[in-house]
């Protein structure tokens, strides 16, 4: 084939399609409907995770944790302020 590697298989596009669909935010069910699969097991065979995606997941988790820490710190500040106001009264 012109412009394609010698080891290229069109079948490999299923793996790429599944992986990119999930990375775009689609659910497992969305992916199954798009490619006509009836079981989760079949759909999961074609999905892969790479280092870049794992970094994105880790960054997302880090953002969630940072937000929770900020909320906890703000709550602690509010409680400290309430205690100080009560002592001053």
What does the domain layout of the chain look like in residue ranges?
1-48, 51-89
Q: Is the dihedral of CA 50, 56, 62, 67 positive or negative?
A: negative
Counting beta carbons within 10 angstroms of the beta carbon of residue 19, is it exposed (0 to 12), middle (13 to 18) or buried (19 or more)? middle
Query: Which residue's structure tokens are 């995770």?
Result: 49
Threshold 0.95, pTM exceeds? no
pLDDT, tens only, 44-89: 898 888 888 899 889 999 999 999 999 999 888 887 777 777 777 6
| Rounded CA separation 71/69 (Å) | 5
| Rounded CA separation 12/16 (Å) | 7
pLDDT band at 1 (very low <50, low <70, confident <90, very high): low
Neighbours of 37 (CB within 10 A): 18
Alpha helices in the chain (DSSP H): 12-23, 28-35, 40-45, 51-88
């Amino acid at each position: 084939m012109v412009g394609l590697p010698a080891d290229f298989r069109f079948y490999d596009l299923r793996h790429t399609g599944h992986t990119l669909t999930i990375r775009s935010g689609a659910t497992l069910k969305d992916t199954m409907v798009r490619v006509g699969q009836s079981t989760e097991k079949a759909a999961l065979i074609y999905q892969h995770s790479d280092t870049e995606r794992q970094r994105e997941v880790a960054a997302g988790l880090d953002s969630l944790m940072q937000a929770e820490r900020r909320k906890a710190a703000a709550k602690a500040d509010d409680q400290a302020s309430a205690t100080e106001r009560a002592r001053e009264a």
